[in-house]
Chain A
Amino acid sequence: MSRTVTASLALEPEGAGWRLQLRGDWSLAAIPQIEAQLQSLPATLHGSLLCDWSHAEAPGIAPAWALLRRLADVEPEHPGVRHTGDPPHFLELLQKLQLDRRAPELAHAAPLTLPGLIGGLGRWSVLQGRHARGVLDFLGRIAAVIGQAFSRASAWRTSSLARHIYETGITAIPIVSLIAFLISVIVAYLGAQQLARFGADIFVVDLVTIAVLREMGVLLTAIIVAGRSGSAFAAEIGVMQLNEETDALRAMGMNPIEMLVVPRVLALIIVLPLLTIIADAMGLAGGGLLSLTNLHIPLPQFTTRLRESLGPTTFWAGLIKAPVFAALIAMVGTYRGMQVRDSARELGRLTTVAVVQSIFMVILADALFAVLFVQIGF
């Protein structure tokens, strides 16, 4: 293919009017040059105007459209423009479109003013209020379903519950075990480094026992579950929202809260304490292994020391938090899922929000528990 010449425009006087000679490549690809050329046309022209297309190569729709738009500015009386030299076949369609066209009214962003700012603040407050009401409404619906379930056995959705227990619990066992084990080894290792300086190696056992049972076992498990299942809840329910599946359920007289939300919340409340117990066991095993290999504390001595360091509430102080964390994670995930509307981007955004918020809520709740337990001496 021969190399095409760049697009050009030449305005020549002809008789009582003008002839506009189009040359070179007039395809869509050449539109930046064409636009620049069009800008160089004079603001107004008097007399007739003849567009000569005979030297325009491969004229495209968009360049022709740009030309017509520009000519309409130059020559307000549209019929004054004629086309010659084998004009493109779609010119007629474009001319018709141009006649139908109304000037678009573009919305401009309002400049920042004091009343505007106050208005913005007000709108934000109302939005937050609505948001809070939405959360309350959601909690109320969950409570209502659970309340009904005591008088109507079918509301328990046991098969769905079982599926979620499997997906959020059984399949999470390997990762939860591994992470609890490794973190506990790290804590014991670092603790031993410090305690060895005082010759207090044996207190590594106390350190591991209290850290794992009271805090780390449940907190790590909750964070892993928030990342795994909180995101899954938001994404599953979100896609169902996008596919109008939740609307379909409602239309068939089924309650999406009962079918989708409550089984997930209950499953997680059942599963998270169990996972916490596994994490506790694996954490203690990790501490025991490190004590044996690094500190040469034999296993019987480790277990004896472990029993001595255990208070009556040490284990329960960790475990009691698990159902609360579970409820938080599950409700944040399902709530964000139910909020998904309209677009794939919303789905991604709300899934992210679900994970971030549930982890935040878990840590906040953990802090509150810490204060509470100290106050009541638990």
Chain B
Amino acid sequence: MLDRSVDPVIRVRGLRNLFGSQVVHDDLNMEVRQNEIFGVVGGSGTGKSVLLRSILGLRHPDGGSIELYGRDVESLAAADRSSLVQSYGVTFQNGALISSLTVAQNIQLPLREHYLLSEHTLDELAELNLGLVGLEPETGGKFPSQLSGGMIKRAALARALALEPKLLFLDEPTAGLDPISAAAFDELLLYLHSQLRLTVVMITHDLDTLFQTCSRVGVIVDKHMISDTLDGLLENPHPWIHSYFHGPRARAAEKEIHG
């Protein structure tokens, strides 16, 4: 197993990603520390999802190094994929729940794969994880197609939490939710973050979520990443960052936080 107490949890250095001749990332550096909620923002097409896929070892980067818990993802993925997978949880943009399995079976899927558990225990764990994300036990018997958007996001989070990771990756967790569901999701995330002492990396476009939850934010601009606290980024003179954090939507979200 990986030593889960290493700090920083994620260290990306000099990352370079290409699509054909198009450079997406060039010398991108990123660091995520223990127990923080790190937001990743950037315009469309700046490679936020590509960055996530690189960190997860789903995409081979064209240059640079990525370390998870102080160990290189590339070599880890080859040698010890299962311990790597058990150290983080991921939710994908559209939930990516397996459509032919019920929600409970979706949650049990990684548990079944990695541990030898009795049916009774599996049922208990499904119920536990549903409870953690604030879903009713009855939801476990439903199929993903019977759930609302907000419930799908929660069910995906329950599945990501099933292996008790310390590190959580969320890809657009509040996209497509109504403001009330999105706010409830923010609250849930903050609660789980404090109770389970999770480190969270979150790709988001939702400014409210960003202001509510993130302790630090990395902005992908000009193929690099600029990481800072929200207050620091608000002062940043870079034109894209300035317009991102000082646009009409951002002002409204900020006003809400700072009164």
Contact = CB atoms under 8 A, between A and B. Distances in A.
Decide whether A and B assemble into one complex: yes
A61 B99 contact: no
Contacts of B131: 97, 100-101
A345 B117 contact: no
A92 B118 contact: no
A245 interface: no
Contacts of B19: none
A61 B124 CA distance: 12
Contacts, number: 68
Given A28-B115, A66-B121, A343-B100, A104 B128 contact: no
A102 B145 contact: no
Contacts of A97: 128, 131-132
A326 to B, nearest CB: 32
A186 B188 CA distance: 69
A89 B100 CA distance: 36
Contacts of A69: 124
Interface string A110-145: 000000000000000000000000000000000000
Interface string B34-57: 000000000000000000000000
Contacts of B115: 28-29, 31-32
A32 B117 contact: yes
A248 B138 CA distance: 31
A102 B124 CA distance: 13
Interface residues of B, number: 26
A94 B164 CA distance: 14
Interface string B139-182: 00101110000000000000000011000000000000000000
A114 to B, nearest CB: 29
A28 B127 CA distance: 15
Contacts of A361: none
A28 B100 contact: no
A367 to B, nearest CB: 36
A211 B253 CA distance: 78
Interface residues of A, number: 29
Given A62-B125, A89-B195, A101-B131, A32 B137 contact: no
Nearest to B146: A342
A343 B143 contact: yes
A31 B117 contact: yes
A62 B151 CA distance: 22
B164 A60 contact: yes
A1 B3 CA distance: 10
Contacts of A344: 98-100
B196 interface: yes
A352 to B, nearest CB: 14
A341 B99 CA distance: 10
B154 to A, nearest CB: 14
B104 to A, nearest CB: 10
Contacts of B124: 62, 65-66, 69
Contacts of A93: 132, 195-196
Nearest to A343: B99
Given A65-B125, A101-B131, A101-B137, 7 more contacts: A32-B116, A61-B128, A62-B164, A90-B197, A104-B137, A104-B138, A342-B145
Interface of B: 1, 98-100, 115-118, 121, 124-125, 127-128, 131-132, 137-138, 141, 143-145, 163-164, 195-197
15 contacts: A28-B115, A28-B163, A32-B115, A32-B117, A61-B128, A61-B196, A62-B121, A62-B124, A65-B128, A90-B196, A94-B128, A97-B128, A101-B131, A102-B137, A344-B99
Interface of A: 1, 28-29, 31-32, 35, 60-62, 65-66, 69, 89-90, 92-94, 97, 100-102, 104, 107, 341-346
